[in-house]
């Protein structure tokens, strides 16, 4: 029988076909679409996050869970007006100028989306201007920058400096992450926080927005 517990388990198992099937069955049985998202799909990813953090789950499994959750969301979206989609904050995420690494950044983006953030994934190789443009035009609350190279991590400060120059620094929180990044580096460049992994990035964003 389709219930929220089996939906959560199917998300954790990364079984997109089963997630689609159970989501449809829950909708057909008259369950509230938002409850399906919150108590089934997002709740499933909320189990995945800590397991990934503690080393019980690995990157490919987390990606499969996030994709499975996304498959369920796609089905529920059809019956939900966009305005009704739960959002706990809006984040613009991208990899800095000169850097093409995006596996970790995409994982962070997917996991943020899965717990209810609206995520604008700006891509890779992004100049400071592109992050600032997102702040100006898309009203984001958090700018999230990723870098995997010791050379490109230095570009993160360019975005923070440009935000200051344009008088926008107080309007947004800035978080940084990626293999060479540390809390110390984050403090040095004046970011609001550093997260070592995707699950911590979610906790950090929630804390910064007072969730
Ligand atoms: Co590159 N590469 N690479 N590479 N590559 C590294 C990073 C490197 C450490 C390998 C090595 O030498 N041992 C090294 C960097 C050395 C340094 O700077 N100290 C390196 C190098 C040198 C290079 C090139 C220069 C190689 C060359 O051409 N000579 C070149 C640079 C290209 C460029 O960017 N301009 C290059 C190219 C590539 C590929 C294109 C082949 C490929 C990238 C494919 C892609 O991303 N689409 C690649 C890969 C795959 C790697 C390794 C092997 C794996 C990176 C990865 O995806 N990890 C990497 C070695 C390694 O890390 N073992 C390496 C898995 C991913 C889930 O982890 O990205 O760390 P990660 O993300 C984590 C956390 O860091 C955190 O959460 C994620 C999930 O837990 N996180 C955030 C990430 N972003 C975050 C943002 C946040 C918060 C948390 O908030 C904003």
Superfamily of 90-208 according to CATH: Cobalamin-binding domain (3.40.50.280)
Q: Say what the pTM is.
A: 0.85
The DSSP bridge pattern shows strands 173-177 and 193-194 to be parallel
Q: What is the pLDDT along the chain (211 residues), one digit of tens a residue?
A: 789 999 999 999 999 999 999 999 999 999 988 789 889 988 898 899 889 989 999 999 999 998 998 899 889 878 876 556 668 899 999 999 999 999 889 888 988 887 889 999 999 999 999 999 999 999 999 999 999 999 999 999 999 999 999 999 999 999 999 999 999 999 999 999 999 988 899 999 999 999 7
Let me know if 149 is exposed, middle or buried by CB neighbors in 10 A (0-12, 13-18, 19+). Answer: middle
What is the Å distance from ligand 1's center to 148 Cα?
5
Closest CA to 72 of 120, 12, 1: 12
| Number of DSSP helices (H) and strands (E) in the chain, helices first | 10, 5
Q: Can you tell me which atom of ligand 1 is nearest the CA of 147? A: 84
Instruction: Give yes or no for residue 14 CB within 6 A of ligand 1.
Output: no
DSSP 15-48: -HHHHHHHHHHHHHTT--HHHIIIIIIIHHHHHH
Domain ranges of the chain: 5-83, 90-208
Question: Is 90-208 the same fold as 5-83?
Answer: no
104 lines ligand 1 (CB under 6 A): yes
Residues 165, 166, 171, 174: is their CA dihedral positive or negative?
negative
173 in ligand 1 pocket by Cβ < 6 Å?
no
CATH of 5-83, one of 1.10.1040.10, 3.40.980.10, 3.30.830.10, 1.10.1240.10: 1.10.1240.10
- For ligand 1, atom 43: residue with the closest CA: 101
Strands (E), the chain: 90-96, 118-126, 142-146, 173-177, 193-194
């Amino acid at each position: 029988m389709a219930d929220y517990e089996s939906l959560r388990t199917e998300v954790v198992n990364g079984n997109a076909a089963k997630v689609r099937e159970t989501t449809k069955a829950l909708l057909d049985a008259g369950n509230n679409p938002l409850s399906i998202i919150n108590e089934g799909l997002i709740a499933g990813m909320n189990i995945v996050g800590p397991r990934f953090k503690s080393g019980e789950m690995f990157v490919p499994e987390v990606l499969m869970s996030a994709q499975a959750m996304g498959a369920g969301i796609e089905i529920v979206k059809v019956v939900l007006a966009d305005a009704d989609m739960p959002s706990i904050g809006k984040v613009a995420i991208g990899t800095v100028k000169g850097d093409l690494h995006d596996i970790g950044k995409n994982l962070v983006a997917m996991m943020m989306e899965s717990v209810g953030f609206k995520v604008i994934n700006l891509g890779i190789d992004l100049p400071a201007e592109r992050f600032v443009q997102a702040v100006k035009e898309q009203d984001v609350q958090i700018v999230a920058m990723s870098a995997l190279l010791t050379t490109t991590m230095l570009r993160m400060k360019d975005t923070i400096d440009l935000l200051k120059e344009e008088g926008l620094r107080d309007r947004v929180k800035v978080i940084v992450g990626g293999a060479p990044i540390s809390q110390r580096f984050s403090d040095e460049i004046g970011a609001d926080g550093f997260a070592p992994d995707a699950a911590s990035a979610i906790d950090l964003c929630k804390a910064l927005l007072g969730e």
